[in-house]
Amino acid sequence: MNYLLALWCLSLAMLRQRKMALLFPILCFFTPKGFGLIDVAALPYLSLNRAIVLFMMLSFVLYVMAAGFRIKQTHFPLASAFTILGLSFLASLVSNPDTWASDAVTTFMLFSELFFPCFLIWNFCQSSRDAERALRYIYIAGIVASIYGTVAFATHFNPFLDYMKMTTPTGRVLAADYSGSVRGARAVGMMSNAITYGAFQAMTFLIGIFLLRANRSASRLLWYVLGQLVLFVGIFATGSRTPLVFALFSTLAFVCLARTRHKIVVVQVGVAVCAIASVIGLQYIEKVMDFALSVFSANSAASQSGSSLDMRLGQALIAWNFFTDAPWFGGGVSKTRSILSSGAYPDFYGAESAIFQWAIDMGAFGLFAFVALFTRIFAQARKLPNQSGRAVVVGMTAGYIVFVISTGVLETMQFFLAIVVLMFIAEGRRVSAPGRYHALERIAHDAISAERAQPLG
């Protein structure tokens, strides 16, 4: 199946670049890192997801060559931030000559899989309507993946996970549902990691809030309530606190920043979700809140068999020691992975924080580059004309920062950046010159804004 899907994506990338770019975020639900395409001991591991990124890159390069190496100016809003990020990856590689042979391809792919999907989406998605439609399809795909994950967790039967394990025979990349861990089995859906799966659902949950800003039909609002409830249950089934905190923190930030009209809609949805959940049992709501808040308590976290503040402090001390060995450009993009695989630092556990990993692998320059990327997203979000759309992007970005600091990136940034870019386009942030909208885009956006301003009913 993985080879057939790869062949289909290759043909789609070559013949229908725009369709492939807009389809990619949906494919992210079904092509995690643990879904291998080439896993032979003598060759570098290649996941299906990275293969699709390579296909899109190859087709775009051929497209540019056919156009006489002329690239149209699209004024990609994250271009400057990605330039700094690319330089930080390059500096990490160049400053560690001993790892050039092993890290050159990895460094290139780590940057490319972040940059190219969202750049190609910006390049090929030409209108707010197309972006809105793409987000709606992603939302539906997320709900389908959440239903599958919850059912698989409840029935203890996940054929997709079993097939994924077959695609990685060398064991270099693992896909597991944690059934043998202290905390017990956790929902992983079609992902290879429960936390990654939870983060994808949290971002899908926020897409639902974004789409609600244009909703005026009571029947459609009911469908959104059911969809949000499915996603919330799916997040809780992962048994991971950080995706739950991600969703709740982002939603709270949205409620604080959005227009009063949209605050009321989201609060109404929240009340409806809680009411439905109360039918099942109030104790489950209390359990959800205790579970989410336990991430901030050392004692509670320990009782949940998860990460605690004391554990993070111990990890920070180990990370600091390695950071000071190469403070400016890091020890190479595979440094943290080498530390973990050596088993010499058991108290470092899985280095569950993006700050630890970025500091060790890419040094101060790498930390600065990622700060610049998030800062640029906030700056662009402030320019969005619709207050509620701006509130979702800001809230989701703030929640995502909390998530990656708490537990690491875990293959989620690619999807996060694609969603952010689609939200920018949906809110009319395509420009023909700095600070100036396309005339047609402005007309379309004004019409959409006027339509959204109508009262609910």
Number of independent structural domains in the chain: 1
Residue 256 belongs to domain spanning = 2-452
Is 360 inside any structural domain? yes
Q: What is the pLDDT of residue 297?
A: 52
Q: What is the pLDDT of residue 457?
A: 37
Q: What is the pLDDT of residue 290?
A: 59
Is 457 inside any structural domain? no
End-to-end CA separation in angstroms for the chain: 46
Q: Half-sphere exposure (CA, 13 Å, Cβ side) for 71?
A: 12
Is 35 inside any structural domain? yes
Q: What is the pLDDT of residue 393?
A: 96
Q: What is the pLDDT of residue 259?
A: 77
Q: What is the pLDDT of residue 435?
A: 40
Is 136 inside any structural domain? yes
Q: What is the pLDDT of residue 424?
A: 96
Which residue in 285, 238, 246 sits closest to 404, CA to CA? 246
In angstroms, rounded to a whole number, what is the distance separating the alpha carbons of residues 271 and 209?
14
Is 339 inside any structural domain? yes
In angstroms, rounded to a whole number, what is the distance separating the alpha carbons of residues 399 and 137?
23
Go through 414-430 and write b for each residue having 16 or more CB atoms within 10 A of its CB, e for each that does not: bbbbbbbbbbbbbbbbb
Is 41 inside any structural domain? yes
In angstroms, rounded to a whole number, what is the distance separating the alpha carbons of residues 412 and 338?
21
Q: What is the pLDDT of residue 236?
A: 87
Is 345 inside any structural domain? yes
Is 110 inside any structural domain? yes
pTM of the model: 0.88
Residue 442 makes CB contacts below 8 A (sequence gap 6+) with 428
Which residue in 153, 173, 320, 139 sits closest to 233, CA to CA? 153
Mean pLDDT by 10 residues, the chain (457 residues): 91 93 95 90 89 95 86 86 97 94 92 96 92 96 96 92 89 74 75 92 95 73 87 89 91 87 71 62 52 51 55 88 94 93 87 93 97 97 91 96 93 97 88 40 47 44
